[in-house]
């Protein structure tokens, strides 16, 4: 009998001793082990940084995008983009539950969203049936395995499933924002017009309160229009986050020279680290939620400009993050309408 591990190391083919997320190749045979959950997958929500990179490589050709995705899963046994290092998540229906996990509050037939990355999830894609280039949601016929340590959320009945999937994909960002923002803080959200950014705007506004200030930074008319319609930002800046000095000047001009106490980076493209660092006061905090972040660039860049800031890795998990994020859509009718327009 194959020894099983709660973290799924029994599925690792290469290299020996690795955890599934860091492995280069997993065993994605769908014969269930005693501590695994087998799920019939319907939709993948590909990580924004990953899908942006794949779209560029494929020049927005859907057939080529499908080939790249199928190639990643064929070579790695999981959807783990070798360029960005990121994955995404899925929704599907529970097909079977291993005997070691049958005491859980989960039943065959439950519809769930995975809350762990596709970079550690054994996956088989039998067919890609549809994809939305704007939302990064890809409908498939396939199967996936969740390990004993894998977290998930049973899909709520009061929200459309693709809307819930979109929100749960970035659940860590608004939930962590809620933990980090203090009353009276000046909070800068870089990439505020995107999926995670808009949810973070809600939490930042709620937590900073009337004595705080929420600054939204994004680039281009579409993003700025979304931000404006939500009415969650005290200041909106139209500036390219890959140009750090421009960002610093724009923030100083708009805020009387005051820098952010907390900066949250939600941008899905590389080379935005220094904009976030320069715009944050000495002693402040930068939270890098974006999977496009280079932590080498952030660490060496902060040193190079003499910035003493605390920098946090964007952990996609924090306690109750799924509930917190779904509750945002329930609390904020404008955000729910925006997500419904895009994802439903």
Average pLDDT over residues 154-174: 92
Whole-number Å distance between alpha carbons of 311 and 309: 6
Residue 104's pLDDT is: 84
Whole-number Å distance between alpha carbons of 158 and 81: 33
Average pLDDT over residues 38-47: 97
Whole-number mean pLDDT of the chain? Answer: 95
- Cβ atoms of 237 and 216 closer than 8 Å: yes
pLDDT in tens, 307-344: 999 999 988 889 999 999 999 999 999 999 999 998 87
Residue 1 has pLDDT above 70, yes or no: no
Percent of the chain scored above 90 by pLDDT?
A: 92
Of 180, 307, 182, nearest to 244 by C-alpha is 307
At residue 52, φ and ψ (nearest 5 deg) are -60, -45
Average pLDDT over residues 257-286: 97
Domains and CATH numbers, the chain: 9-155 (no CATH), 172-343 (3.40.50.720)
Give the single-character DSSP code of 317: -
pLDDT band for 291, please (50, 70, 90 cuts). Answer: confident
Average pLDDT over residues 257-284: 97
In angstroms, the Cα distances linking 326 to 27, 167, 172, 335 are 33, 7, 12, 11
pLDDT band for 2, please (50, 70, 90 cuts). Answer: low
At residue 317, φ and ψ (nearest 5 deg) are -125, 135
Report the predicted TM-score, pTM, of the whole model to 2 decimal places.
0.88
Whole-number Å distance between alpha carbons of 14 and 3: 17
């Amino acid at each position: 009998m194959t020894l099983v591990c709660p973290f799924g190391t029994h599925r690792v083919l290469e290299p020996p001793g690795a955890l599934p997320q860091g492995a280069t190749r997993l065993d994605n045979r769908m014969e269930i082990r005693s501590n695994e959950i087998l799920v019939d997958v319907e939709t993948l929500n590909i990580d924004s940084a990953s899908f942006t990179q794949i779209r560029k490589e494929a020049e927005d050709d859907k057939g080529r995008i499908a080939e790249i995705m199928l190639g990643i899963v064929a070579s790695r046994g999981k959807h783990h983009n070798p360029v960005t290092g990121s994955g995404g998540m899925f929704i599907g229906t529970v097909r079977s539950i291993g005997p070691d996990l049958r005491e859980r509050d989960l039943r065959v037939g439950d519809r769930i969203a995975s809350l762990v990355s596709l970079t550690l999830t054994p996956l088989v894609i039998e067919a890609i049936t549809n994809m939305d280039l704007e939302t990064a949601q890809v409908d498939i016929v396939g199967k996936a395995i969740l390990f004993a340590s894998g977290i998930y959320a049973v899909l709520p009945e009061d929200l459309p499933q693709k809307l819930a999937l979109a929100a749960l994909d970035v659940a860590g960002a608004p939930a962590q924002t809620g933990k980090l923002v203090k009353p009276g803080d000046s909070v800068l959200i870089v990439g505020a017009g995107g999926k995670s950014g808009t949810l973070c705007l809600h939490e930042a506004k709620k937590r900073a309160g009337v004595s705080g200030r929420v600054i939204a930074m994004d680039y281009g008319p579409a993003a700025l229009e979304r931000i404006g319609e939500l009415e969650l930002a005290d200041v909106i800046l139209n500036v390219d986050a890959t140009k750090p000095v421009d960002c610093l000047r724009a923030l100083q001009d708009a805020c009387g020279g005051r820098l952010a106490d907390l900066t949250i980076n939600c941008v899905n493209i590389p080379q935005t680290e220094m904009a976030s660092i320069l715009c944050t006061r000495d002693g402040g905090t930068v939270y890098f939620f974006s999977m496009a972040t280079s932590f080498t660039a952030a660490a060496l860049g902060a040193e190079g400009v003499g910035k003493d800031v605390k920098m946090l890795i964007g952990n996609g998990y924090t306690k109750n993050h799924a509930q917190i994020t779904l509750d945002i859509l329930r609390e904020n009718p404008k955000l729910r309408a925006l997500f419904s327009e895009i994802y439903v």
